[in-house]
Chains A and B, each alone.
Chain A
């Protein structure tokens, strides 16, 4: 496959970048703005709870160019399907988009997503025409169940949010990627560009990064580093990575006799 043909689509919409950027945790709005530019992302998440529609000048949204990026409101703070559905509708009104990153974490400690409530909310919101990208555990069965009820992508976690621990769930991510009919976007835990490259080499369709860029000493150049790592990882994947062999191939101790 040529890289020029390698288009990333969610719900029929094409994106040239496979890097999604979270907008929380930046020390200043202008840092977030330059990280968006340098990362070349076309999909950015925004927490509905952080948006103040009354405050036009200084608000987060003022720093995001909606001509260039698709806004992906998230339901951060919702603990149940009911709250998430309510938040989703508020977000659709306030931000004028039916795209939604569904986050339901009843556990404020590790922000672990609730699979049962997430499935319920996805089903209800898909019926209302939302394009849903749910944040979930790296649970292959849940991914298939979400597909069944109309999810537009799945966003399994690499490790807990904000921990920068990398792809602790790699074994399950591989299964999800193998089985999925919708794009798989690895979310949470990606601590450095090499983690992002690893996820892309594995065959993930995209990754979402926030903390690693937002709290870097230079968020803007870290965003660029992630841009290249995502590109490199994807290119390696589409170019056909050589399989890693456990032993040297020169001798065949068990079947060598067949050649004699």
Chain B
């Protein structure tokens, strides 16, 4: 069976990194002028040499995004169902080695979250969990999805990599999208940040989008943890992955998220924080390369950055997020996965979007199958 591994192995990290850094101004200008751009152009646009062209990139990105998505921003909320995790990801608040209270929501607790989220106006939700295969597995997710489906128009999940038949089961239950981030495409770095647990298997994770594609899931979301390794090289590999997937599973939609690494308490990471300017460059580079990618920005980012991002090419945003299980219905309890920077309520974010001249879209899906 074909998988991305074959394509992936034809590229060498150091060579790609060198090519990005060797980009010259002419290559950037050529990429900007073209009506359709390929991966080489993407490479030029995310290179340091493209930085002087940032305003031009932003204006193109703005125009392309409006043409394809209109003046709209989709709103969604993450629902953290569990922070149990057997993985050691040294940069993550849920890491096995962190001694924090662990919690997996029961049905009643999940229903309490539902009530709050419905009152806030949400129709699109994203189920998130750590990786605890004995307790938070396909049986748990199936139950949760079946329960949530009665209340929401669109359900996505961001959980541990699953098997193809498990994705098929979720697709049948009505799961719209599956998000799995490779974290980093640099093997050695991946190993050092994920020393133990099921997640330490780089190839199994790398082939996960293939399993999602074969299962016929409507949409998949990819991404890298920006800052874990060189974000430019990592983003090229992510685009390479998307390019392969779009050609192979052409009936699926694709989304990219932009989680930026930040130093925080209890987290073992000390790399360079990607700057705002660089993040804008990356968002625009993706848009200029690929007009129909959904680009998503979470509440990890600041109010100010998110306000401006509305016009830069982003198409969906979370709002009012709680990143601890049960966090919507109660303020106490288990620890958050990461801290939120934009603390505004969903209503406030929605008002900001409207004030920017965009329509905040709460519902953009309908289950089209009998279940």
Contacts and interface: CB of A to CB of B under 8 A. Distances in A.
A27 B357 CA distance: 5
B70 A211 contact: yes
Contacts of A25: 66, 69-72
A196 to B, nearest CB: 17
B68 A50 contact: no
Contacts of B214: none
Nearest to B66: A215
A108 B252 contact: yes
Interface stretch (A75-83, A197-205, A252-260): A75-83
A162 B68 contact: yes
A24 B74 CA distance: 13
Interface string B325-361: 0000000000000000000000000000010011101
Interface in B10-69: 66-69
Interface of A: 24-29, 47-52, 55, 75, 77-79, 82-84, 86-87, 90, 106-110, 162-164, 211, 214-215
A77 B366 contact: yes
B250 A50 contact: no
Contact of B359 (A28, A77, A107): A28
Given A27-B359, A107-B251, A109-B292, A77 B67 contact: no
Contacts of A163: 67
Nearest to A109: B292
Contact of A48 (B66, B252, B361, B366): B366
A27 B358 contact: yes
B253 interface: yes
B33 to A, nearest CB: 18
Nearest to A112: B250
Closest 6 CB pairs of A and B: A25-B70, A27-B71, A83-B368, A108-B253, A49-B366, A215-B66
Interface residues of B, number: 31
A60 B168 CA distance: 33
Contacts of B253: 108
Nearest to A105: B251
B362 interface: yes
A117 to B, nearest CB: 12
B364 A162 contact: no
Interface of A is mostly: loop
B361 A50 contact: yes
Given A48-B366, A83-B369, 20 more contacts: A24-B72, A25-B71, A25-B72, A26-B70, A28-B359, A49-B153, A49-B363, A49-B365, A50-B361, A55-B121, A79-B218, A83-B368, A84-B368, A86-B369, A87-B368, A106-B250, A163-B67, A211-B67, A214-B71, A215-B71
Contacts of B359: 26-29
Contacts of B9: none
Interface in B145-177: 153
B265 interface: no
B47 to A, nearest CB: 26
B115 to A, nearest CB: 14
Contacts of B369: 82-83, 86
18 contacts: A25-B66, A26-B70, A27-B70, A27-B71, A27-B72, A49-B153, A49-B363, A49-B364, A55-B121, A55-B362, A55-B363, A75-B368, A77-B366, A83-B368, A86-B369, A90-B368, A214-B71, A215-B71
B370 interface: yes
Nearest to A111: B292
Contact of B67 (A28, A29, A108, A162): A162
B184 interface: no
Nearest to A88: B368
B292 A24 contact: no
Choose among B71, B250, B252, B362 the residue with the greatest number of A CB atoms under 10 Å from its CB.
Answer: B71
Nearest to A161: B68
A107 B72 CA distance: 21
B246 interface: yes
B72 to A, nearest CB: 6
Contacts of A50: 361, 363-364
B218 to A, nearest CB: 8
Given A86-B368, A211-B70, A215-B71, A109 B246 contact: yes
Contacts of B368: 75, 77-78, 83-84, 86-87, 90
A28 B251 CA distance: 30
A232 B15 CA distance: 59
Given A49-B363, A86-B370, A79 B251 contact: yes
B123 interface: yes
A77 B123 CA distance: 16
B246 to A, nearest CB: 7
Interface string B247-284: 00011110000000000000000000000000000000
Contacts of B66: 25, 215
Contacts of A51: 363
Nearest to A85: B368
A87 B367 CA distance: 8
